[in-house]
Amino acid sequence: MNQIIKKTSGLLLVTLMALLIAGGSTSCKSKKKLAREQAAAEYAAKVEQSKSDLNAIVDGTTHWTLDEQDKRLEVIKSYNLDDQEVKDLIVKAESTISMKRAEMERKAEEENLRKAEEARKLAAQTRYAPIESQFDAVAYAKSVEEANRQIEMTLPMYATPDVPVLIIISREAGINDYDRPTTISMFLNYLKDKKRNIYKVETVKNDSQGKITELELIKK
């Protein structure tokens, strides 16, 4: 009897162990399956988010700066996603960012040139202010005698009374078209007669002594 009980107990123990092992194996398989499903879900989400971000870059609907777009693109590329649509969008996004950066650099260069031109004109205005002030003094003199006195004070600034004065009447593609040539003496007397000055200095040439040898004017 005891022997039968011992055999029965042993059989129950073996059965219990088998059930425990089977349960553990099933639990392990479930965990692996869950992990695979979770990884697949994360991968799918990463693919969809990457597509969304790349489309936004290509379509220009993102508020990211170009540097931020570059960084996001590098992150997506680092995923090495095996999705053809994502791969195609990466190529398009790279091209889009490149074109936008080139356009931004072009505009920046244009702005720099514009500022440089404004600075040049401002410097020229300051540089040529004494000459233009003399023109105004002649043109707006209260009397002929005062105008003549201003002309006498002005002429010593020039190498001779016959220094050429070129007046620009039009400009196209960087080429100037000039009015009939005149001299500084004739021009100052013209200002005296007209009693107004509508010209400003564009360029000035000087000799080694600093006297003006040629004057280029343009309408204000």
Written as one letter, the residue type at 114 is R
CB atoms within 10 A of CB 147: 21
72-76 CB contacts, 8 Å cutoff, 24+ apart: 73/97, 76/50
CB 155 within 8 A of CB 161: yes
pLDDT value of position 2: 45
Name 204's bridge partners.
215
196: left (phi over 0), alpha (psi -120 to 50) or beta: beta
Domain range annotation of the chain: 36-139, 142-219
Strands 212-219 and 199-206: antiparallel
Length of the chain: 220
pLDDT band for 19, please (50, 70, 90 cuts): low
CB 158 within 8 A of CB 168: no
**Which of the residue ranges 20-24, 130-134, 161-165, 174-178 would you say has the lowest mean pLDDT?**
20-24
pLDDT tens, 68-88? 999 999 999 999 999 999 999
CB 60 within 8 A of CB 25: no
Q: What average pLDDT does this structure show over 39-54?
A: 92
pLDDT band for 11, please (50, 70, 90 cuts): low
Q: What average pLDDT does this structure show over 127-155?
A: 95
pLDDT value of position 23: 55
Distance CA 25, CA 85 (A): 39
**Which of the residue ranges 2-6, 34-38, 104-108, 151-155 would you say has the lowest mean pLDDT?**
2-6
